[in-house]
Structure 1
Amino acid sequence: MALNDKVIVITGASSGIGALAAQMLSEQGATVVLAARSVDKLQEIRSGMMGESRVLELDVGSDASVEAGFRQIYDEFGRIDCLVNNAGYGRFAYIDDMSVQEFADMMNVNYIGMVRCTKAVLPHMKKARSGRIVNVASIAGKIGTAKSTSYTATKHAVIGFSSALRQEVREYGITVSTINPGPIDTPFFTLADPEGHYAANVKWFMMKPERVAKAMVKAVRTGTTEINLPWVAGAGAKLYQMFPRVADRLSYRMLNKK
């Protein structure tokens, strides 16, 4: 898909990989709608962008906010060519140390938020018989580790949803992609790992955000089904799915760094 004049919405675009992907897509001629709760941060990101762009205050955890926000986009542009569901957060803690409400809150943003946004664009994409949906999940959605029961569950849901949706919309010319990165050097860990233990333990393995943002742009352009980053994590996930009991035993000490 050529990106010139394509209308692309990116949620969670106020920092990290969302902001970087927005800038890269803008450089390639796309009209980018940066969506997040923090308008000030979005305006700052937008000020450094080259191409046409808009700022949209959006809370993916709210039905009303998503409905109003996407109506605003369609009223102005009449279409959305690609939706990048990137909004989300994590918190690393043992299950005993998290309330059921905290589990529900994270699921509401990371998974149901993606569902809300997808449902907002899908009828229009079906009518146009074209469109791209890129969902940012995580390798954590394929390989669970201690202190990430809540986060892993949300990303597992994203991957499962994406796989099923891909089958539903295939006949309409719509592609559904998932990006499954390992740890990335972004502000994500400010909330997920405030004491910095996990970030310090996996510093050698942590990816630069530019690498993941480029993968997101690739998915927008090509509609590729799935991108796992880094490749060794993707290979590990395949082995884990094939031999879960053995993988659990062999990887316990290596993976549980939180």
Structure 2
Amino acid sequence: MLENDTKTLTGQVVAITGASSGIGQAVAYEAARQGATLILLARSVDKLTVLSQDVTLLSGAPAYVVPVDVGSREAIDDAVAAIQDKVERVDVLLNAAGFGDFESVTGTDWATVKQLFAVDVLGLMYFSRKIAGMMIDAHYGHIFNVGSMAGKLPTPKSAYYSAAKAAVIQFSNVLRLELKPFGILVTTINPGPVATNFFSIADKTGQYLDNVAAFTIDPGDLAKKIVRTIGRPRREINVPGIMAVASVLYPLAPTIGDQIVLLFGNRK
């Protein structure tokens, strides 16, 4: 890809889970502006159909709709088979499907915990595994996994979500090592609060985004960072900067870190 190309992703196939909203949708628009061919994956066919029409106008390239429930291994198998029917390869995979739930450890319904790990962790792992197999054959590719600052910094009412995202981060670290000999890159995206509909499910109070307005990230800005990183050997994208610094300092002084979190980070 040439740096001075206005369509730097022309000819590249980008598959996005969770494409119907949030970070996934924002990256779909940004990748389309760069000319990418898109594979749009989510449960909502109606939303994906509208998105596919929009991004095709931007990219001038195909945008394929593939419905999938990332919480189901069988559904992922069917989705990957559909992808293979539509394109010869996948150059980029963004695992952006997921949800959160802000509740205490003892107050969270156990069915929600199991679904959280099925989607945010096991689904991401299985999709990565399936697409990595395709990329290994091509000796080329880039996998982006959406983790979270919650996987690096503990805050009350996010124990299960934090545990899930910590698993994503560590899985991605090992995946990066295993796929490096095949020329495949792996990048973990660890954002703080992003202004998306994620919080309409996670935050039952409806006040969290207002409480953390100083740290909130615009999904379009994050999408630009992600797309600019395609093809570049970057381990992680950690935003916002103040939380990235805090995530480095916390393991060095966890006792002090806990005190600071209880004073300033308990905003759910």
The normalised TM-score by structure 1 is: 0.96
Deviations 1:182-216 (A, max 9, x none): 00111001001132122221123211111111122
What's the CA shift for 1:252? 1.6
In structure 1, what is the Cα distance between the partners aligned to 2:67 and 2:144?
A: 20
Amino acid at match of 1:30: A
- Whether the 8 Å contact between 1:134 and 1:219 is mirrored in structure 2 is no
Q: SS of 2:214's equivalent?
A: coil
Which residue number in structure 2 is paired with residue 58 of structure 1? Answer: 68
CA distance in 2, matches of 1:238, 1:10: 29
Please give the alpha-carbon distance, in whole angstroms, between the structure 2 residues aligned to 1:219 and 1:135.
13
Q: Work out whether 1:233 is the aligned partner of 2:243.
A: yes
Question: Displacement, 1:92?
Answer: 0.2
> SS where residue 34 of structure 1 aligns?
strand
Please report how far the alpha carbon of residue 124 of structure 1 lies from its aligned counterpart in structure 2 after TM superposition: 1.6
- Residue 129 of structure 2 is matched in structure 1 by 119
| Partner residue in 2 for 1:76 | 86
Task: State the shift of 1:127 in Å.
Answer: 1.6
CA deviations 1:216-247 (Å, max 9, x no partner) are: 21232424211100111100000012211121
One-letter amino acid of the counterpart of residue 124, structure 2 = M
8 Å CA contact 1:129, 1:174 repeated in 2: yes
How far residue 164 of structure 1 moved from its aligned partner, in angstroms, is 0.8
Q: Is residue 19 of structure 1 aligned with residue 25 of structure 2?
A: yes
100, 106, 111: which one pairs with 2:116? 106
Measured in 1, the distance between the counterparts of 2:141 and 2:215 equals: 34
For the 8 Å contact 2:94–2:144, the answer to whether it is kept is yes
1:167 Cα deviation after fit: 0.8
Q: Which residue of 2 aligns with 1:6?
A: 12
Q: What is residue 247 of structure 1 aligned with on the other side?
A: 257
Q: State how far apart, in whole Å, the 2-side matches of 1:26 and 1:130 are.
A: 20
CA distance in 1, matches of 2:126, 2:261: 36
What fraction of aligned residue pairs are identical, expressed as a percent? 38
Query: Retained in 1: the 8 A contact 2:102–2:204?
Result: no
Confirm or deny: 8 A CA contact 2:155 2:261 kept in the other structure. no
Unaligned runs of 5+ in 2: 2-7
Equivalent position of 1:32 in the other structure: 38
For 1:97, give the aligned amino acid.
G
> What corresponds to 1:186 in structure 2?
196
Is the Cα contact below 8 Å between 1:91 and 1:148 reproduced in 2?
A: yes
Segments of structure 1 that go 5 or more residues without pairing to the other structure are: none
How far has the Cα of 1:250 moved from its partner? 2.6
Distance (whole Å) between structure 2 residues aligned to residue 218 and residue 109 of structure 1:
27
Matched, 1:154 2:160: no
Paired residues of 1:143 and 1:240 also in contact (CA < 8 A): yes
What is the count of residue pairs matched by the alignment? 258
1:144 correspondence with 2:144: no
**Aligned match for 2:230, one of 199, 217, 220:** 220
Give distance in 2, aligned partners of 1:100 and 1:195: 20
CA RMSD of aligned residues (A): 1.2
**Counterpart check, 1:45 vs 2:55:** no
Question: 1: distance between equivalents of 2:229 and 2:69?
Answer: 24
Distance in 1, matches of 2:163 and 2:27, equals 25
Question: Do the aligned residues in 2 keep the contact of 1:3 with 1:221 (CA within 8 Å)?
Answer: no
Give the 3-state SS of the residue equivalent to 2:215 in structure 1. Answer: coil
Q: Secondary structure at the match of 1:29?
A: coil
- SS state of the match for residue 200, structure 2? helix
Structure-2 residue corresponding to 1:200: 210
Structure 2: distance between partners of 1:110 and 1:32? 22
